[in-house]
């Protein structure tokens, strides 16, 4: 807590110095905006209840696992069940230090205990509900507080409304699937990108899908003609667009960004809960995600299907104007 308080004080001092400058060039405005974003995250971290700030690994003495020298640090969002859990377990078996994320304290602690007790790797749990952008900010602030490096970020958390005919909104007033599947990951990546760049070589993996739908920029929140699969499809296409945009933005920094369709209708609780019949195994999806984390030959700015670079079903990811429109919208939504 003291470290977070000092960080907030330093950020506020920096923002005051920037504000006092007479000139307002674009560089100063950008730095001021970034500083206030850090201030907001640290303030939320200080103000949040302890359970919401960070939930360290359980155990007899409730000790918190920390990475060893040379141990890779990997954050997998949505890793308390399904594909994310399978990826986290596999990485722990390879000796990595995992940042486990999810909404369920019980499932998160159980996985952390399992990893810390029975694998070469180690783990720590962070709770955050991506239906709230403030909780995403708290999560990012906690990671920045607790770690001086981040080698891999896997944006895996997601929901699948499928046959649900009811349009739902996040706590921020956005269409829920768009926020949980895409916008929360966009914000988290934005806040953690400086740490990833400082840790280079580093990787960002967006877990997307070949199930996609073009984004209607006149109705992104689907206030007209809502369908669950349309909501899911446009959120997943947005993740592919985000990865391609990130690859361009991070060129030459040692950070790579790719998107992946892990597998179709894996045997996970999400698929079964949506009333769909599984058509592939979570282990197949796990291996396709691990490829983008481990392989030296994946490059950057690609969308992988079945372990190979592919193309999205619709053209927006390859349209610079469409990507710019999504980027502008995303920036507007996360800065509100």
The lowest-confidence range among 19-23, 51-55, 236-240 is: 19-23
Query: Per mean pLDDT, which of 30-39, 47-56, 125-134 is the most reliable?
Result: 125-134
**Architecture of the domain made up of 52-335:** 3-Layer(aba) Sandwich (3.40)
- Dist. CA 149–CA 144, nearest whole Å: 8
pLDDT computed for residue 95 by the predictor: 98
Name the pairing type of β-strands 152-155 and 73-76.
parallel
Task: Kindly list the domain boundaries of the chain, sorted by start residue.
Answer: 1-47, 52-335
pLDDT computed for residue 21 by the predictor: 41
Share of the chain above pLDDT 90, in %: 71
Helical ranges in the chain per DSSP H: 2-20, 26-47, 50-53, 82-93, 105-118, 133-146, 176-178, 184-198, 228-249, 269-273, 282-294, 320-335
pLDDT computed for residue 57 by the predictor: 39
∠ CA 193-327-264, rounded to 5° = 80
Judge whether residue 273 has pLDDT over 90.
no
How far, in whole angstroms, is CA 29 from its chain's centroid?
26
DSSP bridge pairs for 207: 260
Is-catalytic flag, 232? yes
pLDDT computed for residue 270 by the predictor: 63
Distant-in-sequence, close-in-space partners of 69: CB < 8 Å, separation ≥ 6: none
Query: Is 17 exposed, middle or buried (CB count within 10 Å of its CB: 0-12, 13-18, 19+)?
Result: exposed
Judge whether residue 61 has pLDDT over 50.
no
Judge whether residue 63 has pLDDT over 80.
no
pLDDT computed for residue 37 by the predictor: 55
* Position 36 confidence tier, pLDDT thresholds 50, 70, 90: low
pLDDT computed for residue 336 by the predictor: 77
Cα–Cα nearest to 210, from 273, 164, 260: 260
Higher pLDDT, 35 or 219: 219
Task: State pLDDT tens for residues 80-122.
Answer: 999 999 999 999 999 999 999 999 999 999 999 999 999 999 9
DSSP letter for 94, please: T
Higher pLDDT, 159 or 37: 159
Query: Annotated catalytic residue: which of 186, 226, 232, 314?
Result: 232
* Position 281 confidence tier, pLDDT thresholds 50, 70, 90: confident
- Dist. CA 79–CA 108, nearest whole Å: 8
């Amino acid at each position: 807590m003291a470290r977070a308080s000092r960080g907030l004080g330093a950020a506020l001092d920096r923002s005051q110095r920037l504000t006092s400058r007479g000139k307002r060039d674009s560089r100063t405005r950008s730095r001021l905006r970034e500083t206030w974003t850090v201030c907001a995250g640290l303030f939320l971290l200080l103000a949040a209840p302890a359970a919401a700030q960070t939930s360290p690994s359980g155990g007899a003495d409730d000790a918190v696992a920390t990475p060893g020298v040379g141990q890779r640090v990997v954050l997998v969002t949505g890793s308390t069940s399904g594909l994310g859990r399978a990826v986290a377990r596999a990485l722990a078996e390879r000796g990595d230090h995992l940042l486990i994320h999810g909404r369920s304290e019980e499932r998160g602690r159980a996985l952390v205990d399992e990893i810390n007790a029975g694998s070469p790797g180690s783990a720590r749990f962070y709770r955050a509900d991506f239906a709230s952008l403030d909780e995403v900010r708290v999560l990012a602030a906690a990671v920045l507080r607790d770690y001086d490096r981040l080698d891999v970020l896997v944006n895996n958390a997601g929901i699948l409304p499928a046959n649900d005919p009811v349009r739902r909104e996040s706590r921020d007033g956005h269409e829920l699937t768009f926020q949980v599947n895409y916008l929360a990951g966009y914000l988290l990546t934005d806040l953690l990108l400086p740490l990833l760049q400082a840790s280079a070589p580093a990787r960002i993996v967006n877990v997307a899908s070949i199930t996609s739908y073009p984004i209607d920029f006149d109705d992104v929140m689907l206030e007209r003609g809502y369908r669950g699969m349309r909501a899911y499809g446009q959120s997943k296409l947005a993740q592919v667009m985000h990865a391609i945009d990130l690859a361009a933005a991070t060129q030459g920094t040692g950070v790579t960004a790719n998107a992946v369709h892990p597998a179709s209708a894996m045997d996970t609780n999400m698929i079964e809960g949506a009333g769909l019949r599984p058509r592939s195994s979570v282990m197949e999806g796990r291996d396709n995600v691990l490829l983008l984390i481990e392989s030296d030959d994946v490059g950057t700015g690609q969308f992988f299907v079945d372990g190979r670079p592919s193309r999205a079903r619709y053209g927006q990811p390859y349209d610079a104007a469409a990507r710019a429109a999504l980027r502008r919208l995303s920036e507007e939504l996360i800065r509100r």
